[in-house]
Amino acid sequence: MEYVRYGSKLLVRLDPGEEVLASLTSVCRKGNIALGSISGIGAVNKAKVGLFNPTTKNYHSTTFEGNFEVTGLSGNVSQMNGEVYLHLHATLADGEHNAFGGHLNEAWVSATAEICIDVVNGTVGRKFNEAIGLNLLEF
């Protein structure tokens, strides 16, 4: 992994074998990034993607293995209990150009990932909301 900061933006390159969420969490910790938005593209060979069911308040996750293009990675950086909290969604495309996506739980880079973190000066926390069943932004 390598990254460089230009003003309020960080450009991150992930290399084969690196896990996306762990790598971005590390970058945010090292850079003292408490709030921001994330966007990116890349290629992965394993990803765990989830869908939240508001009725049951549970995530259903599926692990996909194979070669996939990350055609869209988006999300945000916030804080929960003083720690970096990433909320990411991804759209993945397979070899037949079928696309699927959802909440990104993990993804392993197969070739590269190119990610931009747009840092916002400030801090926003998260708090678990029992009625909804999710960790919501707390302003």
Alpha-helical runs (H) found in the chain: 20-30
Residues 6+ apart with CB under 8 A from 46: 63, 64, 65, 106, 107, 108
What global pTM score does this model have?
0.96
Residue 119 amino acid letter = V
CATH 2.60.120.40: does it fit domain 2-138?
no
Helices (H) and strands (E) in the chain, counts: 1, 8
Longest Cα–Cα distance in the chain? 43
Q: Which two tokens stand for residue 12?
A: 């991150």
pLDDT tens for 87-127 read: 999 999 999 999 999 999 999 999 999 999 999 999 999 99
